Structure 1
Amino acid sequence: MSTPPPATTSRFNEEAASWDSNPFVQAATTMAHKTYLSRLPPPETLSQYNILDLGCGTGLLTFLLAPSVRSVTAVDVSEGMIDVLNTKLNALPPPHNVLGVHALLSDPDDPILSFDPVTGDSFPQRRFDLVVSHLVLHHIPSLPPVFANIFGLLKEGGRVMVTDFEDFGPEARRFHPESKMEGVERHGIKRDEIRRILEEAGFKDVKVETAFEMEKAVETTPGSGETGGDLMTFPFLVCEGTK
């Protein structure tokens, strides 16, 4: 996974404690979860899946998916985010099928991924049925190495499924207030570009489609810090492929 700028990691460490209190983040994660479930196998098959949630944050998507699957390995480069995830996990009665991992992944064979969240056993070169990631891609400097790594993390026949807002032109920049542009590497993802990256990584049956749309309060004047009730509609893409 391409290394995020230090400022990005610092920002998310600082925001981790209050992350779950953001209504837009909560709503967007709920919509992503619904999108994934609508495209995944029926419950009897899905219940056997071992999933990797890449850039999991505080585990909002992780904990929505966990009841439907065998296990979720939740990975984030922000130690603060993983600390919040683990606090929530420890408050739940055992048994657990979630494992929080603080790591920057660059190697599919990284031993930090070898642990089974359900049994605790270690399996070298552990592979996953599905890799998901939500609202992460726009923070990553270079996407081709990320999808090459994801391809290596999947079993044969495994799938990648990621969601992020779409770069639909200059106005997509307004998704973030100017005060939070540090660590934003792109203003959404472009359909043709992400399709090409997935195909070049080796994925087949690639699909890039509009998953849902959301209204978001944006700055009336860039840099003002004031929204004044201004709302913009942002389309979110779901990008998927099969190994």
Structure 2
Amino acid sequence: MSIKEYIKSRWDNHAKKYDNISAHGINSEKDKRAVRSALQEILGDRKKVLDVGCGTGFLSLILAELGHDVIGVDLSEGMLSKAKKKAEENGYDILFKLGDAENLPFDNDSFDAIVERHILWTLPNPEKAINGWTKLLKNGGKLILIESEKKEGNVGNHHYNEEIARELPFSNGIDLEKFKEIANECNLTFKVETLDCEKINLMIVCEKTC
């Protein structure tokens, strides 16, 4: 089984109980208000937004609530099934597609913004992913990453076995120095904001400059 097949299987199996775990998604009203307010300030009026690794759709729903045209992509059919059900129940017209965050099925210069929450740590090739996301952005488009700072040890071990976790460069949180190098190579500006949240503390906002 390849690493991607393993990761896909892991999240398919996890989909049913994903929303019941407090560390996942954006579950508290405090965190939702903080994320909603930050996205509203950054994105402004209606935009075409891609939610990469959308999971069960928690971030896609916030974006739709703000009035944006949203497409959500995930590697897991189980996660997408939950996301589609939530969108239907809340009356949001969100397109959810099966796709690999490192090889997305869209044309270049397609989106005003791309957002993700805790996806980089799951990727074996985050540099390839960020480069691909940048190409999908229009000039001046925003890349918004909601992540956790690098921690001691390997946080990925609580989701994957040690062998798989070793293959994920950001498995113990995002290394800001390494990310800065990647952003510079991709012609992205780079700034870090902190969020007043219980479960999320870091928002990285990039802009495509050319």
Q: Give the whole-Å Cα distance in 2 for the aligned partners of 1:4 and 1:129.
A: 31
Counterparts in 2 of 1:146 and 1:91: CA distance versus 1, 3 Å? same
Structure 1 residue identity aligned to 2:195: A
The question of 1:180 aligning with 2:180 is answered: no
Partner amino acid for 2:34? K
Greater Rg over alpha carbons, structure? 1
Please give the alpha-carbon distance, in whole angstroms, between the structure 1 residues aligned to 2:197 and 2:90: 32
Which structure shows the bigger proportion of residues in strand conformation?
A: 1
> Does structure 2 conserve the Cα–Cα contact (< 8 Å) formed by 1:52 and 1:73?
yes
**1:14 partnered with 2:13:** yes
Question: Which residue is 2:34 aligned to?
Answer: 34
Contact kept? 2:191, 2:204, Cα under 8 Å: yes
Q: Does 1:129 align with 2:89?
A: no
Aligned to 1:239: 204
- Asked if the contact 2:108–2:135 (Cα under 8 Å) also holds between the matched residues in 1, the reply is no
Listed one character per residue, the Cα deviations across residues 166-198 of structure 1 (whole Å, up to 9, x for unaligned) are: 11333xx3x45x552335422111111111111
Q: Which one of the candidate residues 174, 185, 198 is aligned to 1:189?
A: 174
Report which stretch shifted further, 61-70 or 129-138.
61-70
Q: Distance in 2 between matches of 1:4 and 1:130?
A: 28
Alpha carbons of 1:190 and 1:29: their partners in 2 closer, same or farther (altered >3 Å)? farther
Give unmatched runs, 5+ long, in structure 1: 114-123, 216-234
Preserved CA contact (<8 Å) 2:49 2:111: yes
* Identity within the alignment, %: 22
Cα distance, 1:29–1:189 mapped onto 2, change above 3 Å:
farther
Distance across 1 between alignment mates of 2:47 and 2:188: 19
2-side partners of 1:130 and 1:54: how far apart? 11
Runs of 4+ displaced beyond 6 Å: none
CA offsets 1:63-109 (integer angstroms, 9 cap, x no match): 1221113311000011111111112223344xx3311111115556x
**Within-5 A mapping of 1:62-141:** 62-93=60-91, 96-106=92-102, 110=105, 113=106, 127-141=110-124
User: Is the 1:195–1:208 Cα contact (8 Å) retained in structure 2?
Assistant: no
**Cα distance, 1:149–1:21 mapped onto 2, change above 3 Å:** same
In structure 2, relative to structure 1, the CA distance for the partners of 1:191 and 1:163 (3 Å cut) is: same
Aligned CA distance change for structure 1 residues 6 and 157 (closer, same or farther; 3 Å): same
Tell me the C-alpha RMSD between the 2 structures.
2.8
Amino acid at match of 1:242: E
Match of 1:61 in 2: 59
TM-score (norm 2): 0.81
Q: Secondary structure at the match of 1:97?
A: coil
CA distance 1:193–1:213, shift in 2 (3 Å)? farther
- Give the CA deviation at 1:36: 6.0
Against the structure 1 CA distance between its residues 166 and 71, is the aligned structure 2 distance closer, same or farther, given a 3 Å change threshold? same
Aligned length: 200
- Structure 1 SS opposite 2:140: strand
